[in-house]
Amino acid sequence: MGHFTPLNANEQFKKDDDGLNVRTRIETIYSQRGFDSIDPADLRGRMRWWGLYTQRKAGIDGGKTAILEPHELDDEHFMLRVRIDGGRLTTAQLRAIGEVSETYARGTADITDRQNIQLHWIRIEDVPAIWQKLEAVGLSTTEACGDCPRVIIGSPVAGIAEDEIIDGSWAVDEIHERYIGDKEFSNLPRKFKTAISGSPVQDVVHEINDIAFVGVVHPEHGPGFDVWVGGGLSTNPRLAERLGAWVPLEQVPDVWAGVVGIFRDYGYRRLRTRARLKFLMADWGPEKFRQILEDDYLKTKLIDGPAPAEPSTRWRDHVGVHPQQDGNFYVGFAPRVGRIDGPTLAKIADVAAAHGSDRLRTTVEQKMIILDVAPDQVEPLVAALDALDFQVRPSSFRRGTIACTGIEFCKLAIVETKGRGHDLISDLEKRLPDFDQPISININGCPNACARIQTGDFGLKGQLVLNAEGEQVEGFQVHLGGSLGFEAGFGRKLRGLKVTAAELPDYIERVLRRFEEERTDDERFAEWALRADEGALK
């Protein structure tokens, strides 16, 4: 239980001082004395507990990512992650993020695939002022990164959607209020990811979270949640497993705390590469995990419950115009690969307010939603969003493409992603203007799968490859036919299937044309990719 020896460097700095304590040093020392005053264990360790990562020094190519030492890769600026539990924002909060972006982050802003917003080019001298600005409107960066419970992703239409099974908003708020920033759970073996959704769309990628609560209806007890534990991707992907337990809404925070407690006490701390909860679940299995949870942490038995049905729709991102429970509508729109900027965030807030809304949401697909739109305001809002190039009725390519931060800012990345994804969308829209099938293109700058490469129709893992002239260039190893929700799995990786960045539009066009030629009625790309001849996938 607790620490296992010998301690690796991460476990040592956590044992020496809790990550939450670094805020005082940031406010009283580092922001006053500048970047060079920061203790290395704070710089590359504890500052993550407050959403701060050093970003990649400009001009360092992908071939040097695994060669240079951390201090050689560090720029003297930071990425700052704003924590947005449940993806819930007010127009005032969105404006505040936009103002921080313009004032302190050179206008940068990216919506992540965990509903957060990330800013870049942050100076340590400005961090206290940024916190003051965000916290004044109810936002924070507390435990946005680090070995702790990170953002709680939730259905972006919780309490709103007409077809909702159960509203999990109370549980998101209660977990945040009780446990986020609490030192009971601020020293975990690795990061801990949570998802809560009562939507039949299953809109929180529950299969790849450490813990997920999925809305179901128990035949005797009514609406509640099915509990999943031990999912995660990176270089050792694993799908979460059901505990077979039905949990009522009021019990969700206690079950959550019990699972986090198990991870804290039993998780593998010696080897950083085996420190995620998925490795413990793989060794224990769901029956033992549930027994220890019930006997040692909850002190009560859980109720057996049913598994969730398949998602109610193939597109699970809420893009488009959809009815709310109250007769109004919510309107989802598609930024390109989650990239926005500070001034545009303010414009989105203004557009929402002008059409009667004060509430917005981010999604796990790097999209946004405006809630509470009156029927007579729907089309004017759609027109206003289109004018900002935020399409409510986007192509399959704009709707289905996500990308991680990439080499522009990330010290782990090998290739560029955001700009490439932006251009790929335009290219495919021109090449395949009539393609209308749901498709996901997940672009990742390295093997760590922040953009969920193993679960996309096209999962693109950034690496250096050889072109036709034998030169080393940016490219991708290709995963095909991964999916979540519908027969969830990690798809297919063909031996030697690598594509240069320049060849990527040609390659995807070629494969999608074959898919359209060979697919049976109502066959999804993932189903076709798993049965297709290898030659059709090259």
CA distances from residue 423 to 398, 403, 499, 533 in whole angstroms, order as listed: 10, 12, 16, 29
d(CA 55, CA 77) in angstroms, rounded, equals 6
434, burial (CB in 10 Å: exposed 0-12, middle 13-18, buried 19+): exposed
3-state secondary structure of 233: coil
- Lowest-confidence range among 209-213, 232-236, 355-359? 232-236
List, for residues 220-242, the tens digit of each pLDDT value. Answer: 999 999 999 999 998 899 999 99
Instruction: Report the predicted TM-score, pTM, of the whole model to 2 decimal places.
Output: 0.96
Structure tokens at 198: 């009562």
d(CA 250, CA 79) in angstroms, rounded, equals 36
List, for residues 252-304, the tens digit of each pLDDT value. Answer: 999 999 999 999 999 999 889 999 999 999 999 999 999 999 999 999 999 99
Identity at 131, one-letter amino acid code: W
Q: Cis link prior to 6 (omega < 30° from 0)?
A: yes
d(CA 280, CA 269) in angstroms, rounded, equals 11
Confidence of residue 3 (pLDDT cuts 50, 70, 90): low
**Residues 19, 146 contacting (CB under 8 angstroms):** yes
Q: Please report the pLDDT score of residue 71 as a whole number.
A: 87
List, for residues 486-531, the tens digit of each pLDDT value. Answer: 889 998 988 889 999 999 999 999 999 999 999 999 999 999 999 9
Of the candidates 51, 94, 164, the one whose C-alpha atom is nearest the C-alpha of residue 361 is 94
Longest dimension (CA), the chain: 66
Contacts of 57 (CB under 8 A, 6+ apart): 72, 73, 74, 75
- Per-residue pLDDT at 155 exceeds 60: yes
Neighbours of 9 (CB within 10 A): 11
Q: What mean pLDDT do residues 409-425 have?
A: 96
Identity at 441, one-letter amino acid code: I
List, for residues 294-349, the tens digit of each pLDDT value. Answer: 999 999 999 999 999 999 998 999 999 999 999 999 999 999 999 999 999 999 99
- DSSP character for 481? S
To which H or E segment does residue 179 belong? helix 169-179
Helix residue ranges, H only, 359-503: 378-387, 396-400, 418-431
Give ∠ CA 266-270-275 in degrees, rounded to 5. 60
Q: Please report the pLDDT score of residue 491 as a whole number.
A: 85
Of the candidates 349, 467, 475, 409, the one whose C-alpha atom is nearest the C-alpha of residue 57 is 409
Q: How many percent of the chain have pLDDT more than 90?
A: 94
Q: Please report the pLDDT score of residue 240 as a whole number.
A: 97
Contacts of 86 (CB under 8 A, 6+ apart): 115, 152, 153, 154, 155, 156, 158, 169, 172, 196, 361
**Any bridge partners for residue 401, and if so which?**
441
Neighbours of 75 (CB within 10 A): 17
Return the exposure string of 200-219: e unless at least 16 CB atoms fall within 10 Å of the residue's CB, then b.
bbbbbbbbbbbbbbbbbebe
Neighbours of 429 (CB within 10 A): 15
Q: Please report the pLDDT score of residue 2 as a whole number.
A: 45
Q: How many percent of the chain have pLDDT more than 70?
A: 99
d(CA 362, CA 155) in angstroms, rounded, equals 9
List, for residues 47-88, the tens digit of each pLDDT value. Answer: 999 999 999 999 999 999 989 988 899 999 999 999 999 999
